[in-house]
């Protein structure tokens, strides 16, 4: 009996959010000829679409130059392509449809990047073999995934050793010569809607969060810094080495710059995932404003998380958890206990309030202020004292004995949660 199909109509605003997650499994199918055939056809199709692109000129605003913008051919063309490629095709017919779909999505993603100015006006070429498995080409039988290669000729992938659950809809897997990447629908409704809020403050070496529970969270960013410094040094030495051969140096430089960006991105992805899953809460970050980028703030940015990293991290966390952005003004110079401003911040590590006498780690002070702003509340001594007297050992403000203060502060200023994601190699 066929299972009833899930309605695929538009979901209302209250419906659950559906997210596809991709899982990867190795396989040992020997399908070299098939991969090669698909790759050849795919690149030919990309070429066909490329030749059908209509280019129109567009004037760039405020400049004399014009740009050529592409229009991708439509449905009628797909149909024609299908007929053409089915002739002499040895494998199941649906693979032709799969290749057409893939070719169009490659062209479309090229177009998106080209329009943004990130790609040249050059036909994309697929170099690594892969195939996209359409729904019509696969079937799950218990622990086995059966893929039709030719009519009545199947390849079977064993799913019994998988590390994930198959529940809900399966997307179109991508099959490569060694692996299969299976997109699975996961629903977010099982997760409790977070009522907690965490305010986050960014610094060069750490990301500090605060919420009454669990308290002060410190995420160590030294690995990320190490990554940046390593590549910075590498890039500088490339520039020095090739000071006479600029062209050769440029290629190498770009290669390493790209590698650096990718590794940073990869790290931020893992970090964002960790933040969203380990701390189910609404996350508050300082808003980045463009007008803030004047010289006065340049120093601040040198000290703190690189702006691009920060932007990416916030958007990645947003992908997995609710995020709010709050005004960044004076978060580090306001007392999180009494709300007074202390502009002269002398100490590097501690914020000292001249009005109420609070001495507190400056990063912790900033993220408590961000937490206040998320709630739309201003700092209140009562709230602060009840919270911190009640067991969160965060500051040494009331310690009168100077010796005890210095010694005690080190003990007292420990975050409740410490996280450090190592770099992968």
Binding site residues, Zn ion, CB under 5 A: 335, 337-338, 340, 353, 355-356, 358
Secondary structure (DSSP) of 302-319:
HHSS-HHHHHHHHHHHHH
Query: Judged by CB, which is closer to Zn ion: 304, or 340?
Result: 340
Query: Judged by CB, which is closer to Zn ion: 172, or 340?
Result: 340
Q: Which residues are CB-contacts of 383 (< 8 A; sequence separation ≥ 6)?
A: none
Is 140 in contact with 133 (CB distance < 8 Å)? no
Least distance (Å) between residue 402 CB and Zn ion: 20
Least distance (Å) between residue 345 CB and Zn ion: 13
Cα–Cα distance measured from residue 182 to residue 172, given in angstroms and rounded to the nearest whole number: 7
Query: Judged by CB, which is closer to Zn ion: 355, or 383?
Result: 355
Least distance (Å) between residue 25 CB and Zn ion: 56
3-state helix, strand, coil in the chain (%, to 5): 40, 20, 40
Cα–Cα distance measured from residue 179 to residue 133, given in angstroms and rounded to the nearest whole number: 13
Least distance (Å) between residue 124 CB and Zn ion: 59
Query: Judged by CB, which is closer to Zn ion: 86, or 345?
Result: 345
Cα–Cα distance measured from residue 219 to residue 347, given in angstroms and rounded to the nearest whole number: 22
Cα–Cα distances in angstroms (integers) from residue 207 to residues 23, 133, 198, 220, in the given order: 29, 41, 12, 7
Least distance (Å) between residue 300 CB and Zn ion: 22
Closest CA to 31 of 254, 180, 248: 180
Least distance (Å) between residue 258 CB and Zn ion: 47
Least distance (Å) between residue 339 CB and Zn ion: 7
**Which residue has 């403050």 as its token pair?**
201
Query: Judged by CB, which is closer to Zn ion: 170, or 356?
Result: 356
Least distance (Å) between residue 306 CB and Zn ion: 31
Query: Judged by CB, which is closer to Zn ion: 168, or 357?
Result: 357
Is 97 in contact with 134 (CB distance < 8 Å)? yes
Cα–Cα distance measured from residue 406 to residue 402, given in angstroms and rounded to the nearest whole number: 6
Cα–Cα distance measured from residue 363 to residue 222, given in angstroms and rounded to the nearest whole number: 16
Alpha helical stretches, state H, 177-334: 222-241, 246-278, 295-303, 307-320
Cα–Cα distance measured from residue 196 to residue 211, given in angstroms and rounded to the nearest whole number: 7
Query: Judged by CB, which is closer to Zn ion: 224, or 335?
Result: 335
């Amino acid at each position: 009996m066929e299972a009833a199909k899930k309605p695929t109509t538009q979901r209302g605003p209250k419906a659950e959010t559906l997210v596809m997650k991709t899982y990867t499994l190795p396989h040992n199918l020997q399908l070299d000829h098939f991969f090669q055939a698909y790759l050849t056809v795919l690149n030919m199709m990309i070429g066909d679409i490329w030749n059908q692109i209509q280019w129109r000129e567009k004037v760039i605003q405020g400049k004399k130059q014009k740009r050529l913008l592409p229009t991708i051919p439509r449905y009628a063309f797909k149909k024609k392509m299908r007929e053409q490629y089915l002739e002499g095709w040895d494998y199941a017919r649906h693979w032709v449809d799969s290749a057409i779909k893939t070719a169009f999505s490659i062209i479309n993603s090229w177009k998106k990047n080209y329009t943004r100015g990130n790609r040249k006006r050059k036909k994309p070429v697929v170099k690594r073999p892969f195939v996209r498995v359409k729904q019509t080409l696969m079937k799950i039988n218990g622990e086995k995934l059966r893929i039709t290669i030719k009519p009545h000729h199947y390849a079977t992938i064993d799913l019994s050793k998988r590390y994930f659950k198959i529940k809900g809809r399966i997307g179109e897997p991508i099959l490569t010569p060694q692996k299969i990447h299976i997109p699975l629908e996961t629903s977010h409704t099982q997760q409790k809607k977070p009522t907690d809020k965490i305010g986050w403050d960014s610094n060069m070496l750490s990301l500090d969060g605060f919420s009454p529970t669990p308290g002060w969270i410190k995420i160590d960013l030294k690995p990320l810094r190490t990554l940046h410094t390593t590549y910075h040094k590498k890039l500088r030495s490339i520039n020095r080495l090739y000071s006479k051969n600029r062209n050769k140096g440029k290629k190498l430089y770009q290669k390493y710059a790209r590698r650096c960006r990718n590794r940073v991105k990869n790290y931020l992805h893992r970090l964002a995932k960790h933040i969203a899953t380990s701390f189910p809460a609404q996350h508050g970050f300082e808003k980045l404003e463009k007008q803030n980028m004047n010289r006065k703030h340049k120093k601040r940015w040198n000290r703190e998380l690189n702006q691009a990293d920060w932007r990416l991290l916030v958007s990645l966390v947003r992908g997995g958890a609710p995020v709010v952005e709050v005004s960044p003004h004076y978060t580090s110079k306001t007392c999180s206990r009494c709300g007074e401003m202390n502009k002269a911040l002398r100490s590097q590590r501690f914020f000292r309030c001249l009005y109420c006498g609070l001495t507190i780690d400056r990063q912790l002070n900033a993220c408590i202020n961000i937490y206040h702003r998320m709630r739309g509340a201003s700092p209140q001594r009562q709230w602060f004292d009840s919270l911190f007297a009640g067991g969160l050992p965060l500051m040494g403000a009331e310690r009168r004995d100077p010796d005890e203060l210095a010694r005690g502060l080190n003990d007292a200023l420990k975050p409740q949660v410490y996280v450090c994601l190592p770099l992968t190699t």
